Amino acid sequence: MSAKNLTLLGLQDVVYIKRVVINDEVFWSIHSADGTNIGIAPGRDLAFAAVSQNNLEPVSVH
């Protein structure tokens, strides 16, 4: 297996969640491992729950 293929292994299962501010309101943005925005939630717990319900592995970005 090449180094590139090893790097890509599991990326379809990992998403990251980060805090964003839109129009002076705090939301939690959900992104695929490649950075594509795939959702937004009004709360951190709700973002993690939505990700988990879709059998994805959430990680936080600081």
Q: How many CB atoms lie within 10 A of CB 17?
A: 21
Edge-first strand order for the sheet with 14-22 is 37-41, 25-32, 14-22, 57-60
State which H helix or E strand residue 37 sits in: strand 37-41
Alpha-carbon gap, residue 28 to 22, rounded angstroms: 10
- pLDDT tens track, the chain, 62 positions: 565 554 555 567 788 899 999 999 999 999 987 888 999 999 999 999 999 998 888 876 66
23: left (phi over 0), alpha (psi -120 to 50) or beta: left
Lookup: tokens for 14 = 């990992």
